[in-house]
Amino acid sequence: MTGKYSRFSLEGERALITGGGTGIGFGIAESMIRAGARVVLAGRREELLRTAADKLGDRAGYIVGDVTDTRGAEEFARTVEEKFGPVSILVNNAGIHHKQPFLETAYEDFDKVLRTHVSGSFVMSKAFAPSMAARKHGHILFIASMTTFIGMPQVIGYTAAKSAVGGMVRALTAELAPLGVRVNAIAPGWINSEMMHRAVNSDPERKAKILGRTPMGRFGDPEDIGDAAVYLSSPAASFVTGVILPVDGGAVTGF
């Protein structure tokens, strides 16, 4: 990249992407590599991570880890930086989905969703932020959701978790901006991914309803989220922090 567009380059950056082996996480990894970054994919399934890293080429590595292992987060961060080098971009992408009517939802299922999205993002951010702050350079990117802004039926845990993500973005922005660490989030709409297909492919009526409420009339692709992640992580967004950016084809306005 040359001229003003070099501001969108991630050359010299290293990103750790939780849940990076598939779906949105993999799409973010692809986009960041195209922008010049090196990436480390993190997740629980080694074979999936290895396959994903092989597809991405020599600018990608992987490490097995579980964001719900809250006591092991700091050791995990040390291991990542010892093996791969300093992480300047953390993408809190790992997530799960549980769809069930509220009155039938067990506390254990509700808690599992919150532990992954909220507690997992908290401990990962807390583990990687100190080294970013020491260098006065870093970006923590959360993956929020349409449910950060609106309520949806039968996903009480997911809605509560993604609402909490919005709160964490605002709180961490206030604390970390003076330390040179920016904090933002992307709120995806309906994106072509394994999680989305599980949610809608078995229900053609629901799929049609969703598309009818999305002004652009289509589902997004992981690359759409990846390109937004590149912008928010790049020097072009050096004065952007505390933002929750919808990338949803206008869906939030359609509900």
CA-CA distance, 236 to 225, in Å (whole number)?
A: 17
pLDDT at 217: 92
pLDDT along the chain (255 residues), means of 10: 76 98 96 99 98 98 96 97 98 94 98 98 98 98 96 95 98 99 97 78 84 92 97 99 97 77
Contact between 96 and 116 (Cβ < 8 Å): yes
Query: Of 5, 62, 107, 158, which one is the catalytic site residue?
Result: 158
Beta bridge partners of 210: none
For 41, 55, 112, 123, 171, the CA distances from 46, given in Å and listed in that order, are: 10, 14, 21, 21, 33
Annotated domain spans of the chain: 3-248
Burial of 213 (0-12, 13-18, 19+ CB in 10 A): middle
First to last CA, the chain: 39
Q: What is the number of other CB atoms lying within 10 angstroms of the CB of residue 236? A: 16
The interaxial angle of helices 156-176 and 107-114, nearest 10 deg, is 30
Beta bridge partners of 93: none
Q: Length of the chain in residues, anyone?
A: 255
The type of residue at 57 is G
pLDDT at 1: 53
Q: Does the active-site annotation cover 158?
A: yes
CATH number at 3-248: 3.40.50.720
Q: What SS3 class is residue 139?
A: strand
Contact between 220 and 214 (Cβ < 8 Å): no
